[in-house]
Amino acid sequence: MRNELRHQVFRRTQYDRHLMQIGCESFTQLFTRHPEVMEYLGEYDSMVVDGISIGEALRSHALVVGSVVGDIQENAGNPERIRMSLAGAGQRRYLAGVERRQLDMLGPVLSQAIRPLVWEKGLWSSELEKAWTHLFDIVSCLMKLGYPHEYQEEETFPNLTELVLIRDTWPIVRQKVSQLGLETFQNLFSLNSDMSNYLTEINQEELASSTEAMKGYTGDCIKLLELVVPSLPHLSIAAEPLIQFGKTQRSKNVSVCVLEIIGPVYCNTTRPFLLVQGRWSLDVERSWLALFKELTGIMKEGYYS
């Protein structure tokens, strides 16, 4: 098995030992000092994705990570030993029926689930975020080595991480929009709609018209998300309204590149809503941007039809 592992797809041999040590120590301390963290994972019990109970999967993964951090710490200077140890843990996950793709999903989602507790305790920092990301990446990538070599999945949107993070954060955004009122949210959206911050290769006249067009997208953006998010992962359900939106923008002579900026404007507007509750992360932002990339692609079908 040792020789086989050398030739599989993941070949990382250099680890940031500083980040790895912080990730291991902080993860162990959190679950030791704050056993109530499992209550936070319980909030995901009602979320089922592709037949997977997210809460149950998170608890299982937390226990697995907890069982391997000791080996990671002890062998911080011996990457090959870490590789073998986590490959063995991955093989046990495979034999237990855990899908390979779950390994990629569970690290970011576990971090998302426990972030509010860490935020509440005043323990969160950018270094901790990087450390846990590094730790979960190591665990995921090396545990995959315990799966059959041919056990691969096609990467399509949304993957499990994106789907869970979007579903997790959308209710917060929707609640905040409701509390503020659409007019106030529109003002916030407008503050982030200056196209000079996003587009650099169009003239001033086009910048002005593009900015005005973006400011007018506030209501459309929320309405489309109210339709799209509940239907995920089946974007085809919302295809017709998105195509029609693209056609409408073409009839208004709005530059097609403006459609590609709706996602960044939305993220810049809603980021503070998630930050104050400890729900924002780079993974969350990437998930939303990935969603808007897909939506933009469908809008363009209408724009060019």
CATH 1.10.490 correct for 2-151:
yes
Mean pLDDT of the chain: 88
Confidence band, pLDDT 50/70/90 cuts, at residue 270: very high
Domain ranges of the chain: 2-151, 161-304
**pLDDT recorded at residue 16:** 83
> Quick one: tokens of 9?
């797809």
161-304 and 2-151 share a CATH fold: yes
Q: What's the pLDDT tens digit per position in 32-48?
A: 999 889 888 998 999 99
Neighbour-count burial of 160, counting CB atoms closer than 10 A to its CB (0-12 exposed, 13-18 middle, 19+ buried) = buried
- pLDDT at position 205 over 80: yes
Is domain 161-304 given the CATH code 1.10.490.10 in the classification?
A: yes
- pLDDT at 222 exceeding the cut of 70: yes
Q: Give the tokens for residue 37.
A: 């963290």
Sorted by sequence, the CB contacts under 8 Å of residue 297 that are 6+ apart come out as none
Closest CA to 152 of 10, 6, 50: 10
